[in-house]
């Protein structure tokens, strides 16, 4: 893929940044330049917000089914461009090609799903406590939404935010990660080709210290949706002001393997959950909790299989594990390997980069004899590093699983139905899988966590909640002044008898 220059997208036009500065995006497998991108600044963001604000009245006034029809056209164009976009995801982010295709498929699915919401956007009707009075709720758009998206799902996560925000009638300013700006630019080009009106979606690439901070702090932004690190999330919460906020801040996700589990199935799940996407998922399994009765046997198989995983360029069909996204991520994984060893954990395999060639690769890494209070068991690493913790009983496993500041995803492998249902009830996480790894969310179900993972729910019907307000409507057609609560004793027609004083006949057989 040859290097090219790419612009900001503001008010339906591709424009240069007022900063006059640019930055490069690199292929993490080859370290070759992918393109030159605009280093946006605060002035660019304010212009994008103004464009979104100007367009909002017309876009929000469009009937929701019409907006849904546009989202469906976007989905169809994504299907037509799936192969090209899948390769772009692999080239820009590094994940293997099948996962790149899965990334794009998520975008297709969420645009299709949210297109259908254009004919729903459900409110509720409920009885009034007074005569001749109707009560209901409707969904209304929030306004101008700021979206700050990460690099690990460079098409899917922007789509998860864009599609519900659009179907609800909002206009948008989006800042993609500077590691994967081209994926969002190509997504928005497809949206433009589908007929998205100018100003509805605006893209400002550039650093967090200028673009991100302006989106967070600007008072014209009515809602903010952020996916990224906990540290950044904490800064945002301290600076965002009064606006609707959605946060997804990572996880430290456990897989529990009981002694009654299907061990072959569990082994496949652990390998996929820990090393799929090179461990660069907020739902990745980074803690493996093994029952002491099966631990030794399971560990032998796990280490043997992990050593056989093929590391390389994600475009190679034989590759199992692609590179980390950049050198900083590679160095972070190296630091945590040293932390784990210094804390007394046993390094079983991996722990380094494979050779001295190009690319930010890192070997699948497994630590044994990990205690749950060790840093490698508590802190999100976002790399292919798995900490193995032994437990003696089901109750111990649940306690260990819950003993973390995060609460995103979780999993248990067991053939005991009681253990399965108890785990679903007692594990403190937004997502729990039974006999499946911690990754694999579907777009028609809510996605999100608890505790310091955040408090948002994306996708599914609850994805609408993040980008809409609930408005309550009362219609009084009685022709007289009625007073809620105060007139509660006047509910019965043509009588001064209160509800509590009414006599009801007793039915006898």
pLDDT in tens, 214-229: 999 999 999 999 999 9
**What is the pLDDT at residue 209?**
95
124 and 13 share a domain? yes
Task: Give the mean pLDDT of 452-476.
Answer: 95
Reported as a pLDDT band with limits 50, 70 and 90, residue 487 is: confident
Task: Give the mean pLDDT of 314-340.
Answer: 98
**What is the pLDDT at residue 356?**
82
Within a domain: residue 493? no
- Closest by CA to 399, choosing from 311, 242, 274, 289, is 289
Within a domain: residue 136? yes
Reported as a pLDDT band with limits 50, 70 and 90, residue 490 is: low
Tokens read off for 92: 């820009």
111 and 53 share a domain? yes
Within a domain: residue 474? no
214 and 288 share a domain? no
Sheet holding 33-38, edge to edge: 4-6, 33-38, 22-26
Within a domain: residue 226? yes
Res 468 pLDDT > 80: yes
**What is the pLDDT at residue 503?**
54
Bridging pattern class, strands 33-38 and 22-26: antiparallel
Tokens read off for 284: 């990745």
218 and 349 share a domain? no
Within a domain: residue 491? no
- Closest by CA to 460, choosing from 474, 476, 442, 477, is 442
313 and 355 share a domain? yes
Task: Give the mean pLDDT of 365-392.
Answer: 98
Q: Give the CATH number, domain containing residue 318.
A: 3.40.309.10
CA 96 to mean position of chain CA atoms: 20
226 and 307 share a domain? no
Tokens read off for 496: 């001064």
Task: Give the mean pLDDT of 490-495.
Answer: 51
**What is the pLDDT at residue 1?**
46
91 and 16 share a domain? yes
Question: In 194-251, where does DSSP find H-type helix?
Answer: 213-217, 230-239
**What is the pLDDT at residue 3?**
61
67 and 177 share a domain? yes
Give the number of domains in the chain: 2
Within 10 A of 69 (CB to CB), how many other CB atoms are there?
16
Reported as a pLDDT band with limits 50, 70 and 90, residue 136 is: very high
188 and 46 share a domain? yes
pLDDT digits (tens, 9 = 90+) for 419-459: 999 999 999 999 999 999 999 999 999 999 999 999 999 99
Within a domain: residue 80? yes
Helix (H, G, I), strand (E, B) or coil at 155: coil
With beta carbons less than 8 A apart as the criterion, state whether 103 and 154 touch.
Answer: yes
Res 52 pLDDT > 60: yes
176 and 188 share a domain? yes
Q: What is the mean pLDDT of the chain?
A: 95
Higher-pLDDT residue of 446 and 2 is 446
Reported as a pLDDT band with limits 50, 70 and 90, residue 488 is: low
Within a domain: residue 369? yes
**What is the pLDDT at residue 198?**
98
Res 182 pLDDT > 50: yes
159 and 304 share a domain? no
**What is the pLDDT at residue 383?**
98
Query: Which of 101-105, 313-317, 492-496 has the weakest average pLDDT?
Result: 492-496
Q: Give the CATH number, domain containing residue 156.
A: 3.40.605.10
**What is the pLDDT at residue 178?**
98
Within a domain: residue 504? no
pLDDT digits (tens, 9 = 90+) for 500-509: 555 555 555 5
Query: Which of 171-180, 262-271, 351-360, 421-430 has the weakest average pLDDT?
Result: 351-360
Residue with tokens 């998206």: 149
Active site residue 282: yes
Q: Which domain holds residue 230?
A: 4-249+458-468
37 and 19 share a domain? yes
Catalytic residue, candidates 145, 168, 183, 282? 282
């Amino acid at each position: 893929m040859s290097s090219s220059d790419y612009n900001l997208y503001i008010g339906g036009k591709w424009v240069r940044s007022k900063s006059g500065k640019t930055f490069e995006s690199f292929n993490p497998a080859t370290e070759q330049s992918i393109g030159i991108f605009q280093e946006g600044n605060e002035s660019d963001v304010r212009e994008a917000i103004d464009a979104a604000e100007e367009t909002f009245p017309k876009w929000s006034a469009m009937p929701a089914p019409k907006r849904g029809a546009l989202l469906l056209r976007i989905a169809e164009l994504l299907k037509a461009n799936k192969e090209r976009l899948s390769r772009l995801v692999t080239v820009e982010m590094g994940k293997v090609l099948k996962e790149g295709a899965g990334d794009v498929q998520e975008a297709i699915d969420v645009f299709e799903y949210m297109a259908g919401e254009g004919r729903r956007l459900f409110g509720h009707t409920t009885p009034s406590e007074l005569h001749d009075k109707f009560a209901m709720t409707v969904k209304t758009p929030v306004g101008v939404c700021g979206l700050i998206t990460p690099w690990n799902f460079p098409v899917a996560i922007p789509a998860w935010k864009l599609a519900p925000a659009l179907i609800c009638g909002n206009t948008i300013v989006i800042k993609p990660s500077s590691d994967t700006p081209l994926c969002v630019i190509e997504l928005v080009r497809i949206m433009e080709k589908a007929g998205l009106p100018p100003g509805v979606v605006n893209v400002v690439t550039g650093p967090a210290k200028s673009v991100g901070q302006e989106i967070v702090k600007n008072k014209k932004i009515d809602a903010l949706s952020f996916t990224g690190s906990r540290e950044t999330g904490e800064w945002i919460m301290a600076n965002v002001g009064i606006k609707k906020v959605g946060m997804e801040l990572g996880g430290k996700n456990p897989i529990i393997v009981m002694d009654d589990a299907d061990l072959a199935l569990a082994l496949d799940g652990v390998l996929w959950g820990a090393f799929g996407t090179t461990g660069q998922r907020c739902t990745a399994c980074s803690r493996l909790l093994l029952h002491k009765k099966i631990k030794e046997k399971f560990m032998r198989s796990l280490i043997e299989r992990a050593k056989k995983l093929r590391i390389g360029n994600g475009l190679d069909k034989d590759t199992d594990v692609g590179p980390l996204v950049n050198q900083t991520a590679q160095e972070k994984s190296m630091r945590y390997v040293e932390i784990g060893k210094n804390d007394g954990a046993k390094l079983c395999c991996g722990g380094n980069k494979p050779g001295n060639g190009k690319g930010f690769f890192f070997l699948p890494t497994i630590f044994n004899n990990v205690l749950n209070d060790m840093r490698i068991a508590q802190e999100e690493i976002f790399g292919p590093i798995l900490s193995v913790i032994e437990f003696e009983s089901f109750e111990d496993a649940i306690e260990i699983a819950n003993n973390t500041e995060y609460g995103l995803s979780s999993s248990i492998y067991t053939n005991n139905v009681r253990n399965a249902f108890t785990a679903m009830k007692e594990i403190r996480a937004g997502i729990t899988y039974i006999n499946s790894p911690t990754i694999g969310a579907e777009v028609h179900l809510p996605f999100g966590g608890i505790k310091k993972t955040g408090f948002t729910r994306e996708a599914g019907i609850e994805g609408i909640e993040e980008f809409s307000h609930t408005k309550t409507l009362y219609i009084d057609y009685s022709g007289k002044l009625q007073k809620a609560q105060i007139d509660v004793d006047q509910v019965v027609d043509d009588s001064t008898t209160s509800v509590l004083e009414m006599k009801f006949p007793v039915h006898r057989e």
